Every structure is written in structure tokens, then in C-alpha cells.
Structure 1
Amino acid sequence: MNIALFPGSFDPVTKAHVDIVKRSVGLFDKIYIGIGVNSSKTSFLSIEKRQQMLRSVFEHEPKIHIIAYEGLTVDFCRSIDANYMIRGIRTVSDFEYEKGIAQMNHTLAPDVESIFIVSKPGYSALSSTIVREIMRHNGDVSQFIPKEALAFL
């Protein structure tokens, strides 16, 4: 069985995240969307709210499972029997950053392969960080967030 993990903060989930997941579904038997818990960062949304939001967005996709995790991502991959880690790439700087992480992950867990999915051009500037900043200033984020997620913001 080909199992993949798509890790991230999803704080909040964006249409770019959804696009990467939807384009990955046909490649794997099961995809875990892993919400990484980083105790050194202050989140905008609670873990519970992000789980609810993602479950709402992907409720009709039986291959997708939403779960929060803490610790090294490669260790979490092993715990769920994931052979693959999906990462979205928007820009050249994303690639450089993700390449370094993938190489370190490969050293730590050679059995987990990183798969890079390049974002569609319309999503290359879209990030959770930018969406959070718009939200902090009471801006309209509806064009950046899946409609199912808006109720959780």
C-alpha cells in the first residue's frame, strides 16, 4: 500500500494546500494530512479547529485522513507506515528550502521518499502566512480559503 503524509501547519488551510492534495490523491492509496504541532510557535488557530477545518474540506474523500502529530516528521511517517512525504513547491526558494529538508529526512529515514508537487501558477504567491496577515487586519480572505473552511475562521 502506498501511503503518503502531507505535513504542514495548515494555519489556516488554503486553496493551494487543497490543490496539492487533490492532485496527489490519484498517486497514493492513502494520504494523511499531518498537522505538525510546534510548541515553540504561537498558532493562529487551535489544532482542534485546524483538524475540524480540514475534515470539512476533505469529508468526501475517503483516501484522506486528518491527524495532528508532534516530533520529527520522519518518525511520524514511520508510525503511520508512510513511505512518502508530499511537499508543495511554489517558488525557487521553496525548492531550496524543501530540498535541504528532504536530504536530511533521507539521511534520517532512507525508506521515506519526498515527493515535490509544484503549485499551479495562480497559487504561487498564496501562503498561510499571508492569509493570516490579511485576517489580522480584517481583510477578506474568501478568495484564498476553501469555502468549507470559512466557517472555522
Structure 2
Amino acid sequence: MNVFERVYEIMSASFPEIEYRTQFGQKELLRHPEYRLITESDEKGQIIAFLAVWEFPIFRFIEHFAVDASMRGGGIGNRLMSHYLGESDQLTVLEVELPEELISCRRIRFYERLGFHLNEYPYVQPPLRVGGQDLPLKIMSYPKPLTEQEFLACKSLLYDKVYRIPNI
């Protein structure tokens, strides 16, 4: 199994279908110079965690982050994310589900322990699949909260480059 296939396997097991693209759509992202996959492997060389990131001149966007279900709770995600954040002092953002369910509140607390800040500005992830629904989310930012101007600039770039929706 190649790197992309293993990452997609973990991704599809970790996220609801509304939160990731089809396999073809996800693989197409690898053609974009701003997009890259960062993986963590176990001692046997098996990929056990990944970050899927977009790196733009003004900020970095972590689109997906997951650890294989059988490996969760051992600090792998914390190490991978801490290492990535330590690579640069550049603004980094990610999307999280609304803090309405216990699991989403736990995720938010995990990111807050890493130094992320939950921004209260309204945000919607456009559909990632044909016929999909908009998904209300929140943006978290590292190492500081976003001003409204920064949030709007991030949202505009995400909609244009990541979601391919111009001029929003």
C-alpha cells in the first residue's frame, strides 16, 4: 500500500464522509504545490498518523489530522502536531466541529493544549463532494487568536485555493 492509500484509509476511518473528498478528489490535491502530506510511522514502517496541510505565504492550514484508531491515546498525535507547529512560527489554522458534542469539545481542548485558540467568527466549510452539504465549523488558530481582518483573509484564501470557490 502506498503512502496516499494508507493516509486515505486512516482519513476515511477517522472522519465523517462530509469532511473529506472522494479518493480521486483527495488524490488530485497532491498536484498542488501548496499541499503536502506529513506522516508518522511505527517501528515497522507502517503509517500510523498523518497531517494533510496547505502551506500558503501568509498562513498554514491543517486540513486533516488523524491517528490510526488502534494507536490513539499514546501521544502520537501530540508529537506529530507539536513537531509540525515547531517547524515555523507562521500562523497556522484548522477547522473544528462546533463545540456541541463531547467529542468535539475534547478535540478543541486537545488543540488548545497545543496552543491553538478557538475563534468565534461564523464559518462554513463548503461541500467537499458533489451534492454535499455546507458544514458549519469553527476556525482555530495558532499561536494567537485571529483578528476579524485576519479571519476574513484566511477564509477568503481557503475558499479560493482549498475549496475552489472564488470571491467569497
Q: TM-score if structure 1 supplies the norm length?
A: 0.34
Q: Which one has the bigger strand percentage?
A: 2
Higher relative contact order, chain-length normalized (CA < 8 Å, sep 6+): 1
Q: TM-score if structure 2 supplies the norm length?
A: 0.32
